[in-house]
Amino acid sequence: MQAIQHKPLLRFWTDRPLAFKGLVVVVLPLAVLLGALVSLYLASNAETRAEENVRRAFAIQRDTYQVHALLAEAAAGVRGFVLTREQRFLEPYRRAEAALPLTMARLDGNIKDVVVRRQFEVLRTLTVRKKDGLKRIVELAEAQPGRANNSAELETALMLNKDVLDSMRQQIDNIQRREAILLDQRTMRVDDVRQRFLALTAVSALIGLLGSLAAVYLFSTGIVRRVRALEGNADSLARGEPLKQLPDEADELGRLSQRLVGASALLRAREQDLRDSEQRFRLVVERVRDYGIFALSPDGVVASWNLGAERIKGWQAEEILGQHFSRFYPPETRDHLPAEMLARASADGAAEDEGWRVRKDGSRFWANVVITALRDEHDTLRGFAKVTRDMTERRAAEEALRNAREEAITANLAKSEFLSRTSHELRTPMNAILGFGQLLEIDADEFSDNHRTAVEQITKAGRHLLSLINDLLDISSIETGGSDQKIEVISLADLLQEVHALASPIVSGAGLQFLLDPPPSAMAASADRRRVIQVILNLVANAAKYNRDGNFVRLSCEDQQEWIRVVVEDDGPGVLKKDVPRLFTAFDRLGQQDRAKIEGTGLGLTLSKSLIESMGGAIGYEARKRGSAFWFTLPRDRADEPN
């Protein structure tokens, strides 16, 4: 009874056109695919929101640390100003005044959590107190003349500002801990959403699979008999036997049957031509030994085999003819690469590849493979010609060279990261040492000579170490691409005048004349003004430091069309010829055995070279008949030149 009830349904389905049946089979998987895509889209949105929360958390952590760093550096600068009354010590304080509002504004916009918001408001209050305290210290220091300051009010302000900084550090730690908790919670929510969507996608795929199987079953019941007849003809075609003549029918399967019969006759004719062509090809290539040259059928079956292929791959001709050429590929590429190579060769005319191949004994070799499509005068694909060359030795040499290069790059990155982390970790305690040393210098008159000397040595060593740390940070930042530069048009005349004024005490303190050859007022370059001044001061300081027997240090610049060349020269003893290649090597202080009393870190020239090259210029050394000259170039600015 059940079979009888199903017959009308099967009859109805069998009588439907192939287009209708195909539409049913296609629509079901597409509907399932659409549902899966919607699920993936929703999951992607959830992951995107989570990533945004993570980026916001990282931004909050970065900005809170920046607030602390800016105020700590500003406090150190203010203390230096209190002790020396030199305006340059106030640069970190002014930089903090400019950068803090922007940083606090970013924090204000990024913080969404109520608890973190309350902690941020406390941090904001502490920041305002810290800024007001620093401003008060500066006002007190400017109001009292002289270098020493024993004012009780100033000392109280300094201590209060230290307490505020400690409170800020504690508050920042609270914010970081809360943000870490929020990050974990958000990650758990995203994982939960992802699991739900994956389960929904799996259920949709299962339903779609069952529906597709049902549609395929219904589709097959209407055409199984005729497809089997066509399959029998296809088998006969593969064996080269004549095909059975099927009834003439007007639908798609009937037309396919008629075309298959016609194709059979055409293929038998083409087979003879192909055999003739293969025979000619075999005669040409069978004696080549350095290259494996053989023919493939359009399906990738080996149709010919030469001595070179036998030598490289190990198979005799009778062992490999009729086998698919995917046997030459290792298991990890065998399922996809052979088909891809044939498809590329068929589409582009030829396909080339290098990779691992397998010999008969299972050993692997690195091969260069070229597959060329063979087409007749009607552009019909007749097969492929395949040329294989054993490149194992060359591959081994290239691999060794690449590994050595990667190891060198990894070592350099590890060095830069170590320098950066170490320098950052050392800067905070060093600022504290210098700060307390400077406070001790305030009361130096009350100490004995031994204690006063000890305090001087502490501050001297601290400044030297802080200079080394700053140089290490600069070098690390430049090597990792993190150096902040402000490229602008700078007047060389104004810049050299400024450097001459800044460096004159250094040169005169060494008992030398500081000569300046002013350039034309219109000469300008594109560079970072602060970094250029830093490089020139470093070169001038080196010239004054090592010029023991000479009389002068000269600063000049010249126009070299596309470049501006700045030169610092002296008439001292110069650099030994054997030491010139080591000039710009970090920590390599040339002739230090004869210059033990000269202060320095061995990083000045290395840092100068990195700074100049990061601005697009070059730096070098020239020996003079008497003395030496260090030079560097900067890109010339031509905006004001007439056309």
**Are 303 and 341 in the same domain?**
yes
In this predicted structure, what is the pLDDT of residue 50? 67
Asked if residue 43 and residue 129 are part of one domain, the reply reads: yes
In-domain check, residue 223:
no
Residues 6+ apart with CB under 8 A from 527: 487, 488, 490, 615, 617, 634, 635
Q: Are residues 429 and 501 in the same domain?
A: no
Query: Contact, 439 vs 75, CB < 8 A?
Result: no
Total domain count for the chain? 4
Which of 598 and 213 is assigned the larger pLDDT?
213
What residues contact 385, with CB distance under 8 A and at least 6 apart?
281, 293, 294, 295, 296, 371, 372, 374
Structure tokens, 596: 């033990």
Residue predicted with more confidence, 427 or 308? 308
Torsion 160-162-163-169 (CA) sign: positive
The SS3 assignment for 398 reads helix
Q: How far apart are CA 433 and CA 436, in angstroms?
A: 5
Query: Which residue, of 479, 510, 544, is where some domain finishes?
Result: 479
Mean pLDDT of 260-265: 70
Of 143, 140, 174, the C-alpha closest to 157 is: 140
- Residue 176 has which token pair? 């970081």
* Residue 514 belongs to a domain: yes
At which of 339, 374, 390 does a domain end?
390
For residue 513, is pLDDT > 60? yes
Higher pLDDT, 588 or 515: 515
Report the CATH number at residue 313. Answer: 3.30.450.20
**What gap in Å lies between CA 196 and CA 203, rounded to an integer?**
11
Residue type, 585: T
Is the Cβ–Cβ distance between 546 and 590 less than 8 Å? no
Average pLDDT over residues 335-360: 91
Same domain, 143 and 85: yes
Q: Is the dihedral of CA 569, 573, 575, 577 positive or negative?
A: positive
Mean pLDDT of 362-373: 91
* SS3 of residue 514 by DSSP: strand
Q: What is the pLDDT of residue 12?
A: 56
494 with 625, same domain: the answer is yes
Averaged pLDDT score across all residues of the chain: 76
For residue range 268-318, list pLDDT tens digits in order.
677 767 777 666 656 555 556 667 888 899 999 998 888 888 888 889 988
pLDDT value, residue 279: 67
Asked if the structure places residue 196 within a domain, the reply is no
Does residue 25 belong to any structural domain of this protein?
A: yes
The beta strands (E) that lie in 274-375 are given as 292-296, 350-358, 364-375
- d(CA 278, CA 72) in angstroms, rounded, equals 83
Q: Report the CATH number that the domain containing residue 471 is assigned in CATH.
A: 1.10.287.130
Which of residues 475 and 545 earns the better pLDDT score?
545
Does 412 score more than 70 pLDDT? Answer: no
Both 361 and 467 in one domain: the answer is no
What CA–CA distance (Å, rounded) separates 177 from 485? 33
- Could you please report the per-residue DSSP string of 58-80? HHHHHHHHHHHHHHHHHHHHHHH
Over residues 162-217, the pLDDT tens digits come to 777 777 777 777 776 777 777 677 677 767 766 777 776 777 667 767 766 666 66
What the block records as the tokens of 119 is 């902690």
Which range marks the domain in which residue 345 is found? 286-390
Round to whole Å and give the CA distance between 18 and 389. 49
Condensed to tens digits (0 to 9), the pLDDT of residues 267-282 reads 767 776 777 766 665 6
Has residue 332 been placed in a domain? yes
Distance of CA 478 to the CA centre of its chain: 15
Average pLDDT over residues 430-455: 69
Contact indicator for 313, 328 with CB cutoff of 8 Å: yes
Alpha-carbon distance 601 to 488, whole Å?
A: 30
* Model confidence at 468: pLDDT above 60: no
pLDDT score, position 3: 44
Residue 252 reports pLDDT greater than 80: no
- Predicted pLDDT of residue 605: 81
Give percent of the chain with pLDDT exceeding 90: 15
Strand order in the sheet with 563-570: 513-516, 552-560, 563-570, 628-635, 619-623
Backbone dihedral region for residue 549 (phi beyond 0: left; psi -120 to 50: alpha; all else: beta): alpha
pLDDT tens across 23-66, in order? Answer: 766 676 677 667 666 766 776 676 677 667 777 777 777 877 78
- Check if the beta carbon of residue 623 is closer than 8 Å to that of residue 487: no
**According to the model, what pLDDT value does residue 336 have?**
92
Q: Are residues 602 and 530 in the same domain?
A: yes
The residue that leads in pLDDT, 141 or 480, is 141
On whether the CB atoms of residues 437 and 464 are closer than 8 A, the answer is no
With respect to residue 146, please indicate whether it lies within any of the assigned structural domains: yes
In this structure, which amino acid lies at residue 636? R
C-alpha 392/C-alpha 381 separation (Å) is: 32
431-448 mean pLDDT: 68
**By percentage, how much of the chain surpasses pLDDT 70?**
65
d(C-alpha 288, C-alpha 256), whole Å: 44
* Over residues 110-121, mean pLDDT: 81
pTM above 0.75, yes or no: no
Per-range mean pLDDT, top range of 86-90, 247-251, 411-415: 86-90
Residue 2: the pLDDT is 43
Q: What is the pLDDT of residue 407?
A: 77
Task: Indicate whether 540 and 410 sit together in one domain.
Answer: no
pLDDT tens for 546-566 read 887 889 999 999 988 889 999
- 210 within a domain of the structure (yes/no): no
DSSP tally for the chain: helices H, then strands E? 16, 11
Average pLDDT over residues 608-614: 85
Question: Does 628 lie in the same domain as 507?
Answer: yes
User: Is the pLDDT reported for residue 598 higher than 90?
Assistant: no
Q: What is the mean pLDDT of residues 478-499?
A: 78
CATH code of residue 157: 1.20.120.1730
Residue 237 within a domain: no
What does the buried/exposed string (b/e) look like for 598-628 if buried means 16 or more CB atoms within 10 Å of the residue's CB? eebbebbbbbbbbbbebbebebeeeeeeebb
Q: Are residues 447 and 593 in the same domain?
A: no
Q: Buried b / exposed e across 322-343, counting CB within 10 Å, b at 16+?
A: eebbbebbeeebeeebbeebbe
pLDDT of residue 358: 92
Taking phi first (over 0 means left), then psi (-120 to 50 degrees means alpha), and beta for anything else, what does residue 599 get? beta
Asked whether residue 355 falls in the same domain as residue 497, the answer is no
pLDDT 10s digits, 517-544: 988 888 899 998 888 988 898 899 888 8
Domain endpoint, select from 191, 206, 230: 191
Query: What is the per-residue burial (b if ≥16 Cβ within 10 Å, else e) of 108-146?
Result: eebbebeebeebbeebeebbebbbebbebbbebbeeeee
d(CA 123, CA 173): 11
Phi, psi of 286 (to 5 degrees): -70, -20
> Do residues 529 and 617 both lie within one domain?
yes
Cross-strand bridge partners of residue 633:
565
Reported confidence tier of residue 430, pLDDT bands at 50, 70, 90: low
Residue 146 has pLDDT above 60, yes or no: no
Under 8 Å between Cβ of 222 and 64: no
